Amino acid sequence: MIQISVPDYNDSITEVELDGVTYFLRFSWNSEAQMWVMSIENAYNDVIVAGIAIVPDTPLLSGYRSLAVPAGELVAVSPDGGNAIGRDALPSGDVAFIYVEADEVQGYVDGTL
């Protein structure tokens, strides 16, 4: 499991290596909807998927498996079980943005991790 830092900007790109593959994650704060959204780009900056709503405690990639998304799973883990993620929660780490590696996904789903 890897924790991914989200910069304290309304729009940012973070380079990460997930299961041995380089991706760029774009994090954007939508002030009108009061929510974070994410896009995933490959190492050549080609957009794989855009506009994923970052919902707490929900696997974010399950609906995109037909695309070249990372093999594991991205999850925003909220310690209070809330339904929304505020503007400051991801950058401050109050809500942890994690990547569960492909070989750990089943253990995460089963609750054994």
Query: Which letter, b or e, does each residue of 48-63 get, where b requires 16 or more Cβ atoms within 10 Å of its Cβ?
Result: ebeebebbbeeebbee
Using CA atoms, how far apart are residues 48 and 77, in angstroms rounded to an integer? 23
pLDDT of residue 3: 97
Whole-number CA gyration radius for the chain = 13
Query: Which domain, by its residues, includes 36?
Result: 2-110
Number of domains in the chain: 1
Residues in Cβ contact with 43 at an 8 Å cutoff, skipping those fewer than 6 apart: 21, 22, 23, 24
pLDDT of residue 84: 86
Mean pLDDT of the 47-61 span = 96
Q: CB burial class (10 A; 0-12, 13-18, 19+) of residue 40?
A: buried
Mean pLDDT of the 51-78 span = 95
Mean pLDDT of the 68-85 span = 91
